[in-house]
């Protein structure tokens, strides 16, 4: 399998396991699929969630690690996801959720498994566009908590993608980053002061 899923920090995984064992945390999550799940629910497929903060003048994407996301599997399918975040006291459970990004992430990962090159899967969020992508990082040995998208890395927009950007179509960072930058950067109106 060409995907080298990184290992999540042990405290992040422990916080999700603790939340899963808490009836209160599961009930308050407002995730009907998780509430209705039959059998044991297990966290798997840890993916670091990076946020695209800005793109430098040189075209380098500045990102930061925002958390770790785990798919919650019950039986043969993912019924929800759990997110953790870094606090001053270490990794802590943040919330459970469900929705289109859970299935879309699984679909993108299945697509990525058919690629010949090995990649380290990550998630890259572009908050200004309400966009989430599967980031396939070419340096599988790099610490999953660090790094920036390399020009040859792949970004796979997850559904729902912003208008004009096709979901589940892989793009090299060098191709998609300028498009995202143009959309995030406000354009000046003609005649407005400089």
For the full predicted model, state whether its pTM sits above 0.95: no
User: Strand (E) positions, the chain?
Assistant: 41-55, 61-74, 77-87, 90-97, 120-126, 131-137, 154-157, 171-172
**What pLDDT does 187 receive?**
46
Q: 150 is written with which tokens?
A: 């390399």
Q: Splitting the chain (194 residues) into consecutive groups of 10 residues, what average pLDDT does each group show?
A: 88 96 82 83 95 70 90 91 95 94 95 92 92 95 90 95 93 89 58 44
Q: 50 is written with which tokens?
A: 């990076």
Radius of gyration of the chain (CA): 18
CA 193 to chain CA centroid, Å, is 38
Task: In whole angstroms, give the CA distance from residue 193 to residue 2.
Answer: 51
**What pLDDT does 104 receive?**
97
């Amino acid at each position: 399998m060409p995907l080298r899923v990184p290992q999540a920090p042990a405290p992040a995984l422990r916080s999700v396991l603790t939340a899963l064992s808490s009836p209160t945390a599961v009930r308050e999550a407002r995730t009907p699929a998780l509430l209705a799940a039959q059998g044991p629910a297990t966290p798997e497929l840890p993916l670091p969630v990076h946020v695209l903060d800005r793109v430098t003048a040189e075209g380098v994407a500045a990102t930061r690690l925002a958390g770790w996301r785990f798919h919650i599997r019950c039986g043969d399918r993912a019924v929800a996801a759990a997110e953790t975040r870094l606090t001053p006291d270490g990794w802590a459970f943040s919330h459970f959720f469900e929705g289109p990004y859970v299935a879309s992430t699984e679909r993108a990962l299945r697509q990525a498994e058919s690629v010949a090159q090995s990649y380290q899967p990550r998630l890259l969020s572009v908050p200004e566009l309400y966009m989430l992508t599967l980031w396939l990082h070419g340096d599988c040995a790099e610490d999953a908590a660090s790094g920036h998208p390399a020009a040859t890395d792949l970004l796979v927009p997850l559904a729902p993608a912003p208008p004009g950007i096709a979901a589940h179509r892989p793009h090299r960072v060098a191709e998609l980053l300028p498009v995202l930058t143009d959309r995030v950067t406000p354009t000046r109106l003609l005649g407005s002061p400089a």
